[in-house]
Structure 1
Amino acid sequence: MAKGTVVHAAEVKTLYVDETYSSKMLIDHTNSLTKNIQINMGIVAPGAKHADHNHKPEYDEVYLIQRGQAMVRLDGVEHNLEAGDVVFIPGGSMHAIANRSATEDLIIFTAWSRLPEPGANSVYDQRLKEWGKSFKTIDED
């Protein structure tokens, strides 16, 4: 029988991408038996806006707004979101996110429908380059 995985976000090392965004890899193939899912917790700084970008067509993505107020632009259409709202981003779609609050972090969970290959996700690639792996706990330093 396959074993499940429990991850405590407070015990996961944060990757600081830049002054506007940081992330914690919560679930992927390095810390669970999954072969198809990647779940990340992203922290978007107050007032931060990220540029439109897209992924290859085979990489669907889901955003779940955990805390804060977001604006997500999906194929040119802007949507204001609150905690609990969910966005499905089909692979190949142009999308961007912004934190609408000037004072509070925006916390989002992102889920990918498959594990990224090199070049498919710049944050995932940065994690591999800096750490040599995608998942790391705070006790590993």
Structure 2
Amino acid sequence: MAAAPVVKSLAQITPHYIGDNRTVRLAVLSGPADGSSTTVVLEIWEPGGSQPDNSHEESTETFVVLKGTARAHSDQHVADLGPGDVIVLPATSVHHIVNSSATERLYTITVMENDGGFADLILTGPEAALDEDDAAVLNTVLVGA
């Protein structure tokens, strides 16, 4: 018998912080707990927010910018990103992304090929919340409402 699909509503999505960084919220949309070796994450950067440098030994990481602007750093490379842009960061690259706006949030969908514990890292971090602005972006971008 085939496994049933996993369906989640916005109300079931809980973002988390990683460590002490309170400028980026991450919400696992799918991952190992759902039977997938690939993790899909909604990431929300506060204005000026950034990730610390990080690297994934066996995982390619893809970011799709939904709303906002960013500057992506990957090893010696730098790229400016806006809505609709996609950046693929190769495995082993040392990278981080900065919300380049001082006033607007940055929203991305992030796909981590070969999870490597990424979902667990997120899910064990302190819980955060989605607010009305986040819901409005998701409803507009994801369902066209």
Short-chain TM bin: 0.7 to 0.9
What letter is aligned with 2:48? G
Distance 1:87 1:41 in 2: 15
Runs of 4+ in 1 over 6 A off after TM superposition: none
- Within a 5 Å distance, the mapping from 1:19-98 to structure 2 comes to 19-30=22-33, 32-34=34-36, 36-56=37-57, 58-98=58-98
Percentage identity across aligned positions?
25
Using structure 2 for the length normalisation, give the TM-score.
0.74
Using structure 1 for the length normalisation, give the TM-score.
0.76
Change (3 A) 1:90 1:8: same
> 1:125 aligned to 2:126?
no
Q: Name the structure with the higher strand share.
A: 1
Distance 1:7 1:126 in 2: 18
Unaligned segments of structure 1, at least 5 residues: 132-141
| Cα displacement (A) at 1:42 | 0.8
Unaligned segments of structure 2, at least 5 residues: 128-145
> 1:13 aligned to 2:14?
yes
Change (3 A) 1:130 1:98: closer
What's the RMSD between the two structures over aligned residues?
2.1
Q: Name the structure with the higher helix share.
A: 2
Distance 2:60 2:102 in 1: 30
Aligned length: 124
